[in-house]
Amino acid sequence: MKNRCFLRDEEAALGLPIRMVVLTIVGLAGMTVMLAALAGVQTTPGVLYVMSNTTSFSINGSTGDSPYIRLTVVNSEDEPVSGASVVVWGPDHRTAKAGTTDAFGQFVLRLENISLPTGKSEGYMAVKVMQEGYLDLDEQYLIKVRSI
């Protein structure tokens, strides 16, 4: 076998420039595909909070109507969340009202003919808030309801 010196061998350099160009194009195409895939990755969902204008109220006997309740839905930066779906259940979970928040993150409701759980003199109204891009909020003890 004949010793060859690659520094003086012209055949070694013969397709090198085109190979470098092809590899560069293939590499850039691969990187573009990876960056496009990363751009489509969803970010971590935000957190929702709900506040009420009242913390408790009383009803006569075991059934009655709630006062008008104003719920405000905000995110972790204390900004109102508009268009969020809100469902509120009475203490016995048989009466419910649903709607969406306005531009100020507010939803006003009044539950009629709510009743307390059987054999109980108090109960709690529950709420569920859902909005795209946020984790669902389930609050089982939002407002206390007492019998007088």
pLDDT in tens, 130-147: 999 999 999 999 999 999
Per DSSP, helices labelled H in 48-146 are: none
Q: What fold, for 48-147? A: Immunoglobulin-like (2.60.40)
Residue 1 scores a pLDDT above 90: no
Count other Cβ atoms within 10 Å, centred on residue 30.
Answer: 10
At 102-134, the pLDDT tens digits run 999 999 999 998 999 888 999 999 999 999 999
Q: What is the pLDDT of residue 118?
A: 87
Distance CA 50, CA 52 (A): 7
pTM given for the model:
0.70
Q: What is the pLDDT of residue 3?
A: 67
Cβ atoms 36, 82 nearer than 8 A: no
Q: What is the pLDDT of residue 10?
A: 65
Distance CA 104, CA 71 (A): 11
For the ranges 5-14, 34-43, 59-68, 86-95, the lowest mean pLDDT is seen at: 5-14
Percent of the chain topping pLDDT 70: 89
